[in-house]
Every structure is written in C-alpha cells, then in structure tokens.
Amino acid sequence: MFSSPLSTSSRQLRKILPFIWFFSFLLPTPTSFLQPTSFLHSGVGFTQSINADRELKKSMVKIAKDLKLSESDVSFSILVPGLGRIEHAADIPRIPASAMKLVVASAAMDELGPDFMMHTDLVLDGIVQDGVLEGNLLIIGRGDPAVSGRENTDDLLWELRPWVTFLNAQGVKRISGKILADARYFEGDGFHSDWPRESSHRWYYARSGALNLNDNCLDVYVGPVSSGQVLVDVKPTQPLARFVNRMKICKDRKKHLIRIERPGPSWEITLTGAFLESAEKRKFHVAVPDPASHFVGAFSEMLAEAGIVVLGEDLPISELSPGVESPKVNQRISHTLISRMPVMMKNSQNLYAESFFRILGKELGGDGSFESSGRVLANWARKNFQESESLVFRDGSGLSRLNRLDARFLRSVVDWVLLQSWAESLFECMAFSGVDGTLEKRMATDLLKGKVCAKTGTLNDVSSLVGWLKPTGVNQPITFAFVFNGRKGQVAKARQWQDRCLDLLAKRRSGNESQ
C-alpha cells in the first residue's frame, strides 16, 4: 500500500474509502488505474452530487424494472469519483456465485503474495542399484491446481515427461515398491458438502486435492461412427477408468443426444443416448472421483510406456510429516500463484479457486479443509473491512448456495485492491469487456469495449458483476458491484441490467448521455 498522509489502516478502508477518493489528488499512485486528479476539478458541487446520486440510483432501479426484474432481487454499490456512493440494498447479504473468486484472489495475493510457489515433487524413496529402485516412488502434492494440460492441449502430461526422462537417466528399469501419493497437505474431502452429489462427475464440480492433474478430469472423446460403432477414447490414459458404451447410432439430427454418467465414487463411466451417424468427434470433460489416484494412475501408464516396471511390493516409507518438504526431492514442478490467476479469473475455473482457497487456509494456520479455509477467509475480511461479520464464506469458487456477501463489501474489495502494489497484476488476470474471458461477448460497444474489468458470477438464479469501469477521458475508475438473486430464467436479463447500468455510467462520466 502506498504511503498516505491520512495514515489509514486497512481495517478502516471500507468506511472511509469515499474520503480517500476525495483526497487522492494528494497521494502518489501505485498503478496506472489511479491517476492523480482532484475532485475539485470535476465541476460537480455538493448539491449536484446528491442529486446525481439519487437520479442515477433511480435510473438503475428503473432499468431493472423495465427488464421485469424485481427491485427486491437486485443490489448494487458504486463508487463514482466526484459523486460518492450510489447504492441500492447494498448491505443485504446475497449469493455471490463466482464473484467469490475475486475475494479469494485478493486474500491470496495479500497473504501469500503473487510469487508464492506451489510445488509438486517426485521423490525416490530408496537407492537405485542394478537398474532397480529399491523402494517406493513418492509423489508429494501441495495443492497446485495446474499440473499439465492448459499450456499444451496436444500433450496433457507434458509436465510429467521430465520425470520419466530423469528416471531413465538414473537407469531405473524396475521399481520394487509402489508409486505412492502423499496428499496429506489438505484435510477433508475435496467435494464440498453444499454441492449436489449427483453432479460430482461434472467438470465444474471437480474435486480439489493436494495432487491435481488435467483439472482433475478425463477428456472423453465420443465419435465418430466407425464399423457400426460409436468410438470412445480418453485422455490421459487412466487404468482405473472403465467405460460402458451404450450409445446408439441415429440418422435423425433431432435425436442426437449424448449422456455421460459416473456415479459417486465409482470409476465406471457410462455413455448412453444416440450419436448422429454423420457427426464429428466431440470432447467432454468428466471429473474423476479421486484426484490423487488419478495422478498416480496416469503417471503409472507413462512409466509402463517407457518400459519401467512397477513390481508393487509392500515396502516401508520414509517418515515425512504432512506438508513438510522432503530433503530428498529429485524432481519438482513449480508454479507461482500469479501465473495461475488468469485461468481462475478470466475463465472462472472453479478447481483453481478451490485450490487457492484451501492453500490459503492451510498456509495461514488451518488444515486446508473447506471449514478451516472458510474461517481463514472470514478472518481476513474482518481484518480489512468493517461490517463484514455477517458474511458467509463456504467455498472458494462460489458454487455453494450458502455463501453470503453483500454488494458494498464486494465493491469495497475492488477499492482495497486498487491501493495494493500488486493491483495491476491482479486486474490483468481478469476479464475485460468485449475482449476476453467471461466478458468477451459482453459490452463490446465502442463506448465500453476494453473499459470494464470485472469478475462475473453465474448460477441458475444468480448473476453478479464486480470490478471497475474507466471510460475514455476519465482519470479515475468507477468501482462497482452488481448482484442479482431472483428467479430461474432471469439471469440473461440480469446481465442486461448490469451492462445497461455501466453503459449509463460511462455516458454520464464521458458527457455522452445522448448517445
């Protein structure tokens, strides 16, 4: 945080941020988002400010009503330089959906730092003699969600190949023991109790763990039709998985429907439905029931392909404390926190959010379970923001319908981030209107394209948008949080409401309201 003559503690920021904005022309700026300017130069007097506040609030509520959204279902909190706060139901806790990811990212950047390293280690627990590893091969995980897959979609196991090369260089032909996963870094199940169990096979509900590979999913390829059968393939190769193919072939495009199920803890994946005879191959992502076993199974296949035989004898294991770094690390995969942020923030990847949420909980004194991580995040919120006692942090992705955040808190998080030295790094990881991520197809007009940086959130009856708007010709960003909790089927209208409100703000601030 940059130095300030106001001597403001972060605990007080939520209450006095409007005054910080007012005096910001006195302060040096840490990022390009906060350019030195005086509100005294804005041409808006005190009386005008109050009137503008009321008129903008009425206009935004009217936009919601015109879209058939109930006034009681929407909340917003907006901080406009020179005007102050514009709010409606801003202190009502609501389901935030994936806007929760912005809170997790902010806390992780604050407490762990952008350069926090996540390691996944390979340890030879024994000596190599005459081509035999006399012991076990240990894989030690510490929650990194991003081992393999994202940077090389043609080779989902590319980051593990140096491990195989290393074993070959050591002359290992056989392993007398087993390939063992040390996944003790986290306590508790990686599938939250608030999530629907019947959806545990869906990629967006993928379990998090100390060891994660390919987003903890199998890439299942269905089709095309060959020799009277619907072909099925899977990557990475997983010896634990068993496929039951009950797909039928159809010629009617309207009957083309593919269903994929993997019940509970089972590795059996069943495909039913009808596949169009002329259709091309399609790819699906199926979440695995056990991330650690998934990692070990895929790596075992790699060793088999390299001609390395695992004998599987029951041999003693070196004593290692959970989460404590082994002195015998032979190979390591490492990623920084900030390098993994774009996938979580631009693409809203749930597994990454849960991993960072649990890492935060573990590193700040908890056990890495959902429960302890929720307490850690709540403590962080109370430390930095007033009036946050009623907020509820159940998971890191926002999938839980028991999460409760209010619009004022969410907007205050954006204001707080703007004051941090790493603000620009985090905002670069977020989606920009009309450009990329979850905002690629939203607000793509000349007025708004590239001018909104935000985190979206969506559930069946929830839509949230939290971030900042910086119209052309405006020095300081407008920070905002919009949250809708209403009826199913209204999410599209809620997004229109958010976009139209930001369009209105941009026109007002750039003096182009007649556009």
pLDDT digits (tens, 9 = 90+) for 98-149: 999 999 999 999 999 999 999 999 999 999 999 999 999 999 999 999 998 6
Q: What value does the CA radius of gyration of the chain take, rounded to a whole number of Å? A: 26
Number of domains in the chain: 2
Return the CATH number at 82. Answer: 3.30.450
Q: Cα–Cα distance between 207 and 191 in angstroms, integer?
A: 5
Q: Tell me which range, 311-320, 457-466, 470-479, is most confidently predicted by mean pLDDT.
A: 457-466
Q: Would 20 be classed as within a structural domain? A: no
Q: Quote the mean pLDDT of the chain.
A: 89
Q: Which residues contact 259 (CB under 8 A, 6 or more apart)?
A: 271, 272, 273
Residue-wise pLDDT for 489-502, tens only, equals 999 999 999 999 99
Mean pLDDT of 217-236: 96
Q: Would 96 be classed as within a structural domain? A: no
- What's residue 8's pLDDT? 35
Range of the domain at 422: 26-91+407-510
- Residue 287 and residue 148 share a domain: yes
The DSSP code for 270 is E
Q: Would 141 be classed as within a structural domain? A: yes
Task: Using the 3D structure, point to which of 281, 316, 335 is the last residue of a domain.
Answer: 335
Which is higher by pLDDT, 2 or 482?
482
- Residue 127 and residue 86 share a domain: no
- The amino acid at 262: R
> Phi, psi at residue 319, to the nearest 5°?
-75, 115
Task: Using the 3D structure, point to which of 316, 335, 354 is the last residue of a domain.
Answer: 335
Q: Is 79 helix (H, G, I), strand (E, B) or coil?
A: strand
Q: Cα–Cα distance between 418 and 424 in angstroms, integer?
A: 8
Q: Which two tokens stand for residue 186?
A: 């986290």
Whole-number Cα distances in Å, 515 to 59, 277, 447, 469: 16, 51, 9, 18
CB contact burial 210-239 (16+ within 10 A = b; e otherwise)? bbbbbbbbbbbebbebeeeebebeebbbbe
- Residue 181 and residue 330 share a domain: yes
Instruction: Tell me the H-state helices in 249-349.
Output: 291-305, 337-345
- What's residue 148's pLDDT? 84
Q: Would 112 be classed as within a structural domain? A: no
Task: Using the 3D structure, point to which of 335, 360, 387 is the last residue of a domain.
Answer: 335
DSSP notation for 466-515: EEEE--TT-SSPEEEEEEEE--TT-HHHHHHHHHHHHHHHHHHHHT-TT-
